[in-house]
Copies of this chain bind each other. A is one copy, B any other.
Amino acid sequence: MSSTENGAEASARETGRPSPKVPERPHPVTLREVAEAAGVSTATVSLVVNKKKDARIAEETRRRVTDAIRTLGYRPNAMAKTLVSGTSKFIGLVADGVATTPFAGQIIHGAQDEAWKHGYALLIANTEGNGELEQDAIAMMLEYKVRGILYSTWFHRQTDIPPPLREADFVLVNCFSNEQGARAVVPDEVQGGRSATELLLAHGHRRIAFINATIPAPAKDGRLAGYRQALGNAGIPFDPDLVMEAYPDQEGGYRATAGLLQRGAPAVFCYNDRMAMGLYDGLREHGLAIPGDVAVVGFDNQEVIAAHLRPPLSTVALPHYELGAAGVRVLLGIDPAPGGPAKIHCPAVERASVQVQAHA
């Protein structure tokens, strides 16, 4: 292997197949060519392509046209159809970082699956929170006559509605506005916090700490409310001393270790999985076993992390896929828009970081 050859080339060569040349691209087939092949006028082809139901065309003629379309590989011009109908088969998705942020990308996946199901394609613009880019992206979508726009944020938060968005039919996804009538779908943080706490309650724990985030967010308020609800439902009085706060990443979780040990709680619900990952490191440094000494639950079900910690982390999933899909359904009027933001269920995912305890 020569010093400049890379694996890609080596791998291509190793298949042993010849290297055919990519053929010249054929010129696009025109409506006129279809008409000539079928022996009909271009007007007739146009009527067949645009599926005009009231046009009277003999079945035999229609068949000749569709055969010619298939044989020649004719692609109808979607732009021309749009001019006739006034709206395109596009749904716009404006994202402030969804496409490029680990995990929130599932919003795209869910929105696309649901859009395709109803004959729409997704036109995505990722703005990285740049206001000017956002204006341009929405203007572009309006010029392409989108059916509507999903406006999404990579973390759950309140948002202002950018003025050009008001020109479209729109739904907020993973964010919400305080304007009445602004349709939105958001994760159900309260239910998620309740489910996370219940994972620990179900294993006999009654003294459960909560390491919340330092940063104000609907997730911070909602998960705390859910934690309190779960304790209340189990008849356990709320002890504010068991609620700590830390920066919501690995370093924050690591630094929270000492405070947790001071409180002596044998079970802890962490605001997110990254925090739990840092706490794992801290607990190990103190020679403590998970879940034997401390049972740990996270939040997010963050891919590449939660299932791969040692031990694997019990957590609650953020329903990104379902947020995208529900956004499309609300936009198209398939799901009714509730009075406030529609709240999407956050499912619990149980793994080895919690454990049955006979008498806790």
Contact = CB atoms under 8 A, between A and B. Distances in A.
Specify how many copies of this chain sit in the oligomer.
Answer: 2
A121 interface: yes
A177 B12 CA distance: 7
Contacts of A75: 139, 142-143, 167
Given A222-B7, A249-B308, A178 B12 contact: yes
A157 to B, nearest CB: 8
A232 B99 CA distance: 41
Contacts of A277: 308
A5 B277 CA distance: 30
A221 B11 contact: yes
A122 B76 CA distance: 21
A190 B254 CA distance: 36
A177 B22 CA distance: 10
Nearest to A184: B8
Contacts of A6: 188-190, 218, 221-222, 225, 343
Contacts of A217: 7, 11
A334 interface: no
A58 interface: no
A136 to B, nearest CB: 8
Size bin of chain A's contact surface: 35 or more
Given A8-B158, A10-B221, A103 B102 contact: yes
A357 interface: no
Interface stretch (A63-71, A108-116, A202-210): A108-116
A262 interface: no
A9 B76 CA distance: 47
A340 interface: yes
A235 interface: no
Interface string A299-328: 000111100111000000000000000000
A50 interface: no
Interface in A183-204: 186, 188-190
Given A11-B218, A186-B8, A189-B7, A303 B78 contact: no
Contacts of A156: 8
A112 B139 contact: no
Interface stretch (A35-43, A125-133, A347-355): A125-133
By Cβ-Cβ distance, the 3 closest A-B pairs, closest first, are: A7-B221, A7-B222, A102-B102
